[in-house]
Amino acid sequence: MITLKDIAEEAGVSIMTVSRVMNGNTTKVSEKTAVKIKEIAAKRGYVPNSSARALAAKSSRLIALLMLTHGDGNPLEDSYHAIFLGEVTRYVQEKGYFLILRYVSDYKDVTYSLRSWNVEGAIFVGAFDSVMSEILTANKIPLVFTDSYSPITQITNVGIDDYKGGVLAAEYFIKNGHTDLAFISPEITQKNGVVEQRLMGFQDTLSKHGCPLRKEYIFPFHDPVNDPTLARKLKPLLSKVTGLFVTADQIAFSLIEGFKKYDIHVPQDVSVIGFDDFPLSRQITPPLTTIRQDIIQKAKTVTSQLFLQLENKDARTQKITLDVALVERASVKDLNFTD
């Protein structure tokens, strides 16, 4: 069995350095060295001593949930992740298993995390499409992905109809007399991913109705939820558009509150449609019109698909798409009726 000493010799570093990296402590190690160590460990199939007992056991009863992160932010500050994790935890516990949550930044972390604890299955939250092949090749356990648009067919994925969400938002704006619209989202980091699908649905529908979305009215921001200047940045836009399709409720909340500082009110001065239908959508002023995805049903479906594979090794992979619906509240002004 490969040891820390073997990795240290190949990497040209001390055993202590390898130990730090393998335990997630990279404060005294350069990023280049840490990456090298992880690559060697993954290549040679290193499994920590701490998991040796689990490897010898018939069943570890451990499920991993791997959440892709970018930067230093806390993913669980996002209501979507918090609700999803809470429901997955509930279902996993009902099955008599234990859930390990692990934040990962690349697929090398994925392989190491899964081997470290001898997990029996894993759920992936985030855009892992670009490294899907590597994940499948390196990890021969039941895996379920969420919101993937990967063309790879040998995976089980549970997502929603993001394109339809964009269609519903556009149709509702048009129904209420809005033709000058803007699209507000996080950065589009992945081609044919969740955000791009929502944009495509929105664009295609507006074009079909003869009011195409102008390119300069598409605003992807690096971290819109935590950007205190977001409302100020979008303020000049409001003289040109009457409505904003915001691809996450959390961003919409920030915008609505931010606009109030400039005496801009929703829907009197600008209309807003969100996406997700978090509980706060019903409680803010005004209550938010939004595209609803059933996060609880998604969590239940993801977990049931994972246990289906655990209980039946011959279970077929599936790509499941859950429906979305528009929830009408009070954040869109009807321009068909003027005072």
Same domain, 152 and 215: no
Indicate the burial class of 314 (C-beta count within 10 angstroms; 0-12, 13-18, 19 or more). Answer: exposed
Number of folded domains in the chain? 3
- pTM, two decimals, is 0.83
Domain boundary among 57, 77, 102: 57
Classify residue 284: in a domain, yes or no: yes
CA angle centred on 151, ends 131 and 303, rounded to 5°: 75
Same domain, 184 and 280: yes
Same domain, 156 and 168: no
Classify residue 339: in a domain, yes or no: no
**pLDDT score recorded for residue 97:** 94
Classify residue 331: in a domain, yes or no: no
Q: How far apart are the first and last CA of the chain?
A: 78
Beta bridge partners of 124: 66, 145
Q: How far apart are CA 225 and CA 186, in angstroms?
A: 9
Classify residue 144: in a domain, yes or no: yes
Same domain, 241 and 305: no
Q: What is the CATH number of the domain that holds 12?
A: 1.10.260.40
Which conformational region is residue 24 in: left (phi greater than 0), alpha (psi within -120 to 50 degrees), or beta?
left
Classify residue 267: in a domain, yes or no: yes
**pLDDT score recorded for residue 339:** 58
Classify residue 329: in a domain, yes or no: no
- Which among 219, 210, 231 is positioned nearest to 186, based on CA atoms? 219
Same domain, 71 and 150: yes
* Residue range of the domain that includes 129: 62-160+295-322
Domain boundary among 31, 57, 83: 57
Same domain, 140 and 261: no
* Each residue's pLDDT expressed in tens, for the chain with a length of 339 residues: 788 989 999 999 999 898 888 876 777 889 899 889 988 988 888 876 655 545 555 578 999 999 988 666 788 888 999 999 999 999 999 999 999 998 887 766 787 667 777 899 999 998 777 788 888 888 889 999 999 998 888 899 999 999 999 999 999 999 999 999 999 999 877 777 999 999 999 999 999 999 999 999 999 998 888 888 999 999 999 999 999 999 999 999 999 999 999 999 999 999 999 999 999 999 999 999 999 999 999 999 999 999 999 999 899 999 999 999 999 999 999 999 865
Same domain, 176 and 256: yes
Cβ atoms 195, 188 nearer than 8 A: yes
**pLDDT score recorded for residue 224:** 86
Who contacts 54 (Cβ-Cβ below 8 Å, separation ≥6)?
60, 62, 117, 118
**pLDDT score recorded for residue 58:** 59
Same domain, 52 and 144: no
Residue with tokens 């939004």: 290
Same domain, 146 and 36: no
CA angle centred on 182, ends 179 and 186, rounded to 5°: 155
Q: How far apart are CA 86 and CA 44, in angstroms?
A: 35
Same domain, 173 and 243: yes
31, amino acid identity: E
Classify residue 337: in a domain, yes or no: no
Same domain, 168 and 289: yes
Classify residue 330: in a domain, yes or no: no
Same domain, 80 and 43: no
**pLDDT score recorded for residue 52:** 52
**pLDDT score recorded for residue 232:** 96
Q: What is the CATH number of the domain that holds 70?
A: 3.40.50.2300
What letter does residue 78 receive in the DSSP assignment? Answer: S
Beta bridge partners of 181: 243
